[in-house]
């Protein structure tokens, strides 16, 4: 029950708390939200296909904006202005990762993500960016497959990252093969959403199932990039318990919850102060 309570806070709490306590509406939205169109036609067209590069911050955020706007009708009965849309948690979390420097290249081998160089670059070397791929591109592809977006899968191409191409998937059929369970769980969520009998609790349960299903694959496949994250998160290092997916998820979730709450309610100056600080192990030197 405690788990569900913190999860509900992540999903719904951000926005309603922010709306209540923050008078500047633009600071409620994730970074660059206004710079993405919320339509597939907002992407560049090449050879008759829209080109989506999820390793560019605004492209990945653009997928969320499409998801949020196309699912808005299904949340209209729960509140005005799409504010009760349960999917808000995803772009908010991704925006928090960006603001706190979690999407930059932690190895320092490239300038990917650094403010004055490649500000919009999302690094494939970032564990956060890798895991988030399965919480952004995958729900998008499942939504395409479920028909809820009115977009067909041959209208667009998803570009691979510069490294580790085979650890990701890029279209509906490919993703069903690589991570069928993740695709199924998101498809179930989007299908349930379209049922006249769907309700808020049911939506929350299906979303929770899809969210947790999305983490298992990336957490095991990107375990090589996880250690440096775990070194940085404030965990009890004396603990000898081996980390499993559940524990890791809860640790990450609790950090996300606390820090997102803090950062979204912060003044813009405080947000600016942490803006784009490379996220790295405090014991290592800055690149």
Report the nearest approach of ligand NAG to the CB of residue 158 (Å): 9
What distances in angstroms separate CA 121 from CA 53, 85, 133, 136, 222, one per listed residue?
10, 27, 14, 16, 19
**SS3 label, residue 277:** coil
Q: Which is nearer to ligand NAG, 44 or 159 (CB)?
A: 159
Q: Which is nearer to ligand NAG, 116 or 239 (CB)?
A: 239
Task: Enumerate binding residues for ligand NAG (CB under 6 A).
Answer: 170-171, 173-174, 241, 244, 246-247
Which ranges in 22-165 belong to alpha helices (H)? 57-75, 89-99, 127-133, 137-146
Q: Which is nearer to ligand NAG, 136 or 260 (CB)?
A: 136
Report the nearest approach of ligand NAG to the CB of residue 182 (Å): 16
Q: Which is nearer to ligand NAG, 88 or 156 (CB)?
A: 156
Paired with 122 in beta bridges are none
Please provide the size of the chain in residues.
287
Q: Which is nearer to ligand NAG, 41 or 247 (CB)?
A: 247
Strand ranges (E), the chain: 44-46, 49-52, 156-158
Report the nearest approach of ligand NAG to the CB of residue 242 (Å): 8
Report the nearest approach of ligand NAG to the CB of residue 239 (Å): 9
Q: Which of 121, 131, 134 is nearest to 225 (CA)?
A: 131
Paired with 7 in beta bridges are none
Buried b (16+ CB within 10 A) or exposed e, 48-78: eebebbbbebbbbbbbbbbbbebbeebbeee
Q: Which is nearer to ligand NAG, 22 or 157 (CB)?
A: 157
Is the Cα dihedral 254, 111, 31, 20 positive or negative? positive
Report the nearest approach of ligand NAG to the CB of residue 33 (Å): 29
């Amino acid at each position: 029950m405690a788990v569900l309570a913190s999860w509900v806070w992540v999903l719904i709490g951000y926005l309603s708390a922010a709306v209540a306590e923050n008078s500047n509406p633009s600071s409620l939205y994730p970074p660059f939200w206004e710079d993405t169109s919320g339509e597939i036609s907002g992407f560049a067209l090449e050879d008759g296909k829209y080109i989506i590069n999820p390793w560019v911050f605004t492209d990945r955020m653009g997928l969320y904006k499409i998801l949020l706007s196309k699912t808005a009708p299904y949340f209209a009965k729960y509140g005005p202005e799409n504010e009760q849309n349960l999917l808000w948690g995803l772009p908010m979390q991704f925006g928090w990762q960006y603001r706190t420097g979690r999407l930059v290249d932690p190895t320092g081998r490239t300038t990917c993500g650094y403010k004055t160089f490649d500000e919009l670059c999302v690094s494939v070397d970032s564990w956060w960016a890798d895991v988030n791929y399965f919480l952004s591109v995958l729900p998008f592809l499942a939504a395409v497959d479920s028909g809820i977006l009115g977009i067909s899968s041959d209208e667009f191409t998803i570009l691979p990252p510069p490294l580790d191409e085979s650890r990701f998937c890029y279209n509906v059929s490919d993703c069903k093969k690589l991570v069928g369970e993740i695709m199924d769980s998101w498809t179930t969520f989007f299908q349930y959403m379209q049922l006249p009998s769907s309700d808020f609790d049911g939506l929350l349960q299906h979303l929770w199932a899809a969210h947790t299903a999305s983490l298992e694959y990336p957490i095991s496949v990107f375990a090589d990039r996880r250690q440096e994250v775990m070194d940085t998160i404030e965990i009890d290092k004396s603990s000898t318990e081996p980390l499993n997916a559940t524990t890791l998820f809860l640790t990450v979730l609790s950090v996300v919850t606390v820090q997102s709450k803090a950062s979204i309610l912060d003044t813009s100056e405080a947000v600016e102060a942490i803006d784009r600080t490379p996220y790295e192990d405090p014991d290592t030197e800055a690149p």
